[in-house]
Amino acid sequence: MTTNTPLLKADHVGIQFGGLKALSDVNIELYPGELIGLIGPNGAGKTTFFNLLTGVYEPTEGSIVLGNEKLNGLPPYKITRKGISRTFQNIRLFGELSVLDNVKVAYHSLARHSILSSIIRLPSHFSGEKEIEEKAIEFLKIFKLEGFMYEKAKNLPYGQQRRLEIARALAAHPKLLLLDEPAAGMNPQETKELMNLIAFIREKFNLTILLIEHDMSLVMGVCERIYVLDHGQLIAHGTPEEIRNHPKVIEAYLGEEVS
Amino acid sequence: MTIFKRINGFWLSMVLAIVFFIVVQLLISRGILNSFYINTLFYMAINIILAVSLHLIIGITGQFSIGHAGFLAVGAYASAVMTMKLQMPFSLALLAGGVTAAVAGLLIGIPTLRLKGDYLAIATLGFGEIVRIILLNVDYVGGASGMTVTHLTTWPWVFACMLIAIIVIANFTNSTHGRACISIREDEIAADSMGINTTYYKVTAFVIGSFFAGIAGGLYAHNFYIIQPTNFGFLKSFDILIFVVLGGLGSMSGAVIAAILLTVVSTFLQEYPETRMIIYSIVLILVMLYRPKGLLGTQELTSFFRLRKAVEGGKQNDNKHTVA
Ligand SMILES: Nc1ncnc2c1ncn2[C@@H]1O[C@H](COP(=O)(O)OP(=O)(O)OP(=O)(O)O)[C@@H](O)[C@H]1O
Ligand SMILES: [Mg+2]
């Protein structure tokens, strides 16, 4: 294991919804630059874990620390500004907004011009908006989406929507990127392109990535380490090789193929 | 250059607006327009202010507020108290009406807009009724018999207020701040996760909207000789809501056009209030059947011209992505 300090540390994290314990005693450490997989059967609590990391829910037990800052209880927008951004299992783009505007929203927190300056159209409004626009266009070019710039996001083909969601998440300048089943609903060709994209952005943006994925070959192929959740608990953790042969994992996926 | 184009478009509309203003002013001062038409024009402008202010809250930010007449009432009474009881000038009274309504908006917005879900709808509905009942029972403002108000609203005042409301709300919308609001309308959880302080923007949009409703209230009060709590009931809120829904949620020009159309319709049907409600209902049903997204959908009037330009082979228009 690496000797440097973890970027993210989830310490005995759990959450209870009414009587249902959706997650309990989850310990996860992510080190800078890693690409880590999070797998588990349906309803295991993977998405719920993302919701805890991003502040959608507050954990009822345990602590989440990014760098050396505790994230518990912070609202989602503050957590994003501290460096965690995500995509969603069911794509959540701003459908009526253009592709360009979707990315511009991610740059909002960098805008320095005030509401008043926009209302009375001070020079700072124009320079601020221009800066956002230039950055957003530059960004879309990296993702080869500039051709769709003025399309409404909801009109993009499915694969491109996934791509845009990742681009938008990255435009928020995260240190840690959370991807919730990015390959869901993609054909093999699109999945392959997605994997190349993930490898590319990881390199280019110096990212740490936590990836939820159902496609086993995909997870096994790209992740350095894998955590396995089942019924709200971590049942295994290790290299793809260790996970593949782990008896508890095989049991959890009873009937499903783990290779 | 995008910026120059935008400025040109802006100044062109300003020139048109001012020409319209001068023509009407001349018609009024020469006595060519009779008081019926003048009154309809005033009423139209006031309704446009109400429509665009609610459009910001519902159409842009996606927060369902159904007690807009409450803010209209607050503005109307606050400004009437300023002129009638405190002998303040009309300009100050209008401002006071706007500010009082904005403060009311802040007080309702902060507790309800922190939550996700439609708490605002319930709170604003209650607010509208509470305001009406308080006004009914406060003798200082005349209770049920209302308050007599001097006629101070003039064409320059209504026109200027309407223009300011439109410009402020359009400029707000077409900026990173407006985009933040639209992102909340589109998907609040995603907006949150993109670093948008959603509570702040929901409250801000709500307060700006309330402010202009208050201004409209000041103009409304000083356009009649008397204001009564019954003028500001739920039906009034419903009228304003229809402007926004009929015009197309998210379209400011749609809200303006709907406000103009419905003002004309309701003015001509003033003597037959029952017929008016029937026609309103029929119009709404027809719109929902044939244009479920409202007259203009989320489009703006200007985007139709841009679209045509693009079809004619003009090069990609820089403004096409301008939001809502
Ligand atoms: N807000 C909530 N209220 C109550 N229960 C919830 C809530 N959110 C999640 N749960 C429950 O927590 C459990 C874990 O759900 P979660 O969505 O995290 O699973 P998952 O591992 O992402 O599954 P999938 O592979 O299907 O996406 C489920 O039983 C779900 O019903
Ligand atoms: Mg899930």
Q: Residues in chain B whose beta carbon is closer than 8 A to a beta carbon of chain A?
A: 2-3, 168, 171-172, 175-180, 182-183, 185-187, 189-199, 204, 250, 298, 316, 320-321, 323-324
**Exposed/middle/buried for B52, CB within 10 Å: 0-12, 13-18, 19+?**
buried
Confidence (pLDDT) at A234:
93
Helices (H), chain B: 2-29, 35-54, 68-80, 90-113, 119-137, 155-173, 176-186, 188-193, 198-221, 234-247, 252-268, 273-290, 301-311
Provide ipTM, 2 decimals.
0.92
Higher-scoring residue by pLDDT: A126, A256: A126
What pLDDT does A235 receive? Answer: 92
Backbone angles phi, psi at B88, to 5 degrees: -90, 155
More confident residue, B115 or B195: B195
Q: What is the pLDDT of residues A196-228, one digit of tens each?
A: 889 889 988 889 999 999 877 788 888 999 999
pLDDT value, residue B323: 37
- The residue in chain B having the minimum alpha-carbon distance to the alpha carbon of residue A92 is B190
Amino acid A61: pLDDT: 93
Which residues in chain A are contacts of B323 at CB distance < 8 A? 97-98, 101
Q: In which band, very low, low, confident or very high, does the pLDDT at B298 lie, cut at 50, 70 and 90?
A: confident
Looking at per-residue confidence, does A124 or A247 come out higher? A124
Check: CB of residue A111 under 8 Å from CB of residue B231: no
CATH number given to A1-83+173-259:
3.40.50.300
Q: What is the pTM of this model?
A: 0.90
Check residue B6 and give its pLDDT.
Answer: 57
Average pLDDT, chain A: 91
Whether A257 has a pLDDT exceeding 80, the answer reads no
- Assign B303 a pLDDT band (cuts: 50, 70, 90): low
Closest to A147 (Cα-Cα) out of A194, A100, A90: A100
CATH number of B37-311: 1.10.3470
- Using pLDDT thresholds of 50, 70 and 90, give the confidence band for residue B81: very high
Q: Which residues of A touch B61 (CB under 8 A)?
A: none
**What pLDDT, on the 0 to 100 scale, is given for residue B295?**
77
Q: Which residue of A has its CA nearest to B3?
A: A126
The pLDDT-based confidence of A3 (bands split at 50, 70, 90) is: low
8 A C-beta contact, residue B265 and residue B309: no
Cα A43 to middle of ligand 1, angstroms: 5
Closest CA to B172 of B184, B180, B161, B163: B180
Query: By percentage, how much of chain A surpasses pLDDT 90?
Result: 71
Contact yes or no for A225/A193 (Cβ under 8 A): no
Would the pLDDT of B91 be above 60? yes
Neighbouring CB atoms inside 10 A of B17's CB total 15
A141, A147, A150, A152 alpha-carbon torsion, rounded to 10°: -100
pLDDT at position B146 is 87
pLDDT number for residue A259: 46
Determine the Cα–Cα distance for residues A188 and B95; give it in Å rounded to an integer. 62
Give the number of the atom of ligand 1 that is nearest the alpha carbon of residue A181. 27
List every span in chain A annotated with CATH 3.40.50.300. 1-83+173-259
**Is the CA virtual torsion B12, B15, B18, B23 positive or negative?**
negative
Per-residue pLDDT tens over the stretch B236-256: 998 899 899 888 888 899 999
Of the candidates B287, B289, B186, the residue with the CA atom closest to the CA atom of residue B242: B287
pLDDT surpasses 70 at B17: yes
Instruction: Determine the pLDDT at residue A256.
Output: 55
The DSSP 8-state label assigned to residue B196 in this structure reads -
Measured between alpha carbons, how far is B70 from B95 in angstroms, rounded to an integer?
17
With bands split at pLDDT 50, 70 and 90, how would you rate the model's confidence at B4? low
Does residue A42 have its Cβ closer than 6 Å to ligand 1?
Answer: yes
| pLDDT score for B320 | 35
Using the structure block, give the residue that is written with the tokens 């379209």.
B251
pLDDT reported for residue B119: 86
pLDDT for B229: 93
Q: Residue B164: pLDDT band by 50, 70, 90 thresholds?
A: very high
Q: Report the alpha-carbon angle A247-A226-B193, nearest 5.
A: 135
For the residues B56-60, what does the mean pLDDT come to? 95
Q: Counting Cβ atoms within 10 Å, is residue A78 exposed (0-12), middle (13-18) or buried (19+)?
A: middle
> How many helices (DSSP H) and strands (DSSP E) are in chain A?
10, 10
pLDDT confidence of residue B54: 97
User: CA of A77: how far to CAs of A48, A108, A190, B194, in Å?
Assistant: 17, 11, 31, 7
The terminus-to-terminus CA distance of chain A in angstroms comes to 24
Q: What is the mean pLDDT of residues B86-95?
A: 94
What is the average pLDDT across A71-92?
A: 95
Residues whose CB falls within 8 Å of the CB of residue B313, separated by 6 or more in sequence, listed in order: none
Distance from the alpha carbon of residue A46 to the mean position of ligand 1, in angstroms: 8
| pLDDT at residue B52 tops 90 | yes
pLDDT higher than threshold 80 for residue B301: no
The residues, ordered by sequence, that sit 6+ positions from A185 with a Cβ below 8 Å of its Cβ are A158
The preferred substitution site among A15, A42, A47 for testing ligand 1, maximizing ligand atoms within 8 Å of CB, is: A47
pLDDT in tens, A175-194: 999 999 998 888 888 888 88
Residues of chain B found within 8 Å of residue A86, distances taken between Cβ atoms: 193
- Would you state the pLDDT for residue A90? 93
Average of pLDDT values for B223-233? 90
* CB neighbour list of residue B80: distance below 8 Å, 6 or more residues apart: B93, B141, B147, B149, B218, B221, B222, B227
